[in-house]
Structure 1
Amino acid sequence: MGEYVYAESWQRLLDQAGQPGQSGAMSLASAGPAGPAGSGASGELKHSAKPWSDAAGAAHSLQTDTATVKAKLTSAHTGAQAGTAGLASMAALTSVLASWEKRLTAVHTECGALEPALRETAWAQGEVDAGVKSALAQYSGKR
């Protein structure tokens, strides 16, 4: 992993955190006090790639399902116009079919765009975490 270049304001904070006589521990003000070891209430902000990966999986499933449903819907309407020329109900049915096809296509397209973005977010968070951990380790003496 390459060396990170930080904005001047961040670099100042990192330099201050590494000064002798100052605690290197950081926590979120909203995280509250650290709990006893092993209690799970460490006061650290934690996250996981799992929710992002799960959301990507859901987007993929929804994309697949909308394609399947659209194909079935279109197939079910095949031949419906035969012998019904001029009926108002056929015009309404055709309009409803077009509307559903448009909606299903939009959902399919949106999910197709979301899935890779969600997977990239899960991956990128892991990379950023590793980079920040490595960069902060040089200030705390841990590697």
Structure 2
Amino acid sequence: MSDAERWQELFGPTGDGPAMKLASASNDAGAGSGGTGRLKHSKGPWTSASGTAGDLRTRAGTSRSVLGRGHEGVEAGVAGLSSGAALKSVLTSWEERLQAVRDECEQLKGLLLTVAKEMGESETAVKSSLKGVHVPDRADEKR
């Protein structure tokens, strides 16, 4: 199959309109299409995800503090027992894990907010650049 034939298979014969469309931009109301005919973006999910990362960061920090307080005095209570060293090892391991989660969520929160800002700015710029373009509506198509 030639390149031209593959191109036509994907995009349809010249002048017939594309055979391949984004599902989110489809005018087809068929099962699973979910399309409205317009590709839209919302920074809401990015901002929400950033907030969730921030909440998880806070909870990881709080959990680390609570875990530390829960182990206060344990060493003295298990002095002479081999379990004391094991408990200290487990505490240290969990403190390190919770600190890593906290640090990663702090970084992720900022990155997600940056994406939300950039996508919003990009959407505004595209919308502004398209203001002068006439898009025919259904009434224009019938004429």
RMSD over aligned CA atoms reads: 2.4
TM, length-normalised to structure 1: 0.69
Structure 1 unaligned residues grouped into runs of 5+: 1-27
For 1:80, the equivalent position in structure 2 comes to 74
State the identity as a percent: 43
Q: CA deviation at 1:130?
A: 0.9
Greater alpha carbon shift after TM alignment, 84-93 vs 53-62: 84-93
Q: For residues 33 and 117 of structure 1, what CA distance do their matches in structure 2 show? A: 31
Q: For residues 96 and 135 of structure 1, what CA distance do their matches in structure 2 show? A: 58
Matched, 1:98 2:98: no
Count of aligned pairs between the two proteins: 112
Q: CA deviation at 1:81?
A: 0.9
Q: CA deviation at 1:51?
A: 0.8
Q: For residues 53 and 70 of structure 2, what CA distance do their matches in structure 1 show? A: 25
Q: For residues 75 and 127 of structure 2, what CA distance do their matches in structure 1 show? A: 65
Q: For residues 78 and 46 of structure 1, what CA distance do their matches in structure 2 show? A: 53
For 2:123, the equivalent position in structure 1 comes to 129
Match for 2:21 among 21, 24, 29?
29
Higher relative contact order (CA 8 A, sep 6+): 1
Structure 2 unaligned residues grouped into runs of 5+: 1-19, 136-143
For 2:13, the equivalent position in structure 1 comes to none
Q: CA deviation at 1:48?
A: 1.1
SS of residue in 2 equivalent to 1:42: coil
For 1:67, the equivalent position in structure 2 comes to 61
TM, length-normalised to structure 2: 0.69
Q: CA deviation at 1:120?
A: 1.5
Q: CA deviation at 1:132?
A: 1.4
Q: For residues 40 and 74 of structure 2, what CA distance do their matches in structure 1 show? A: 56
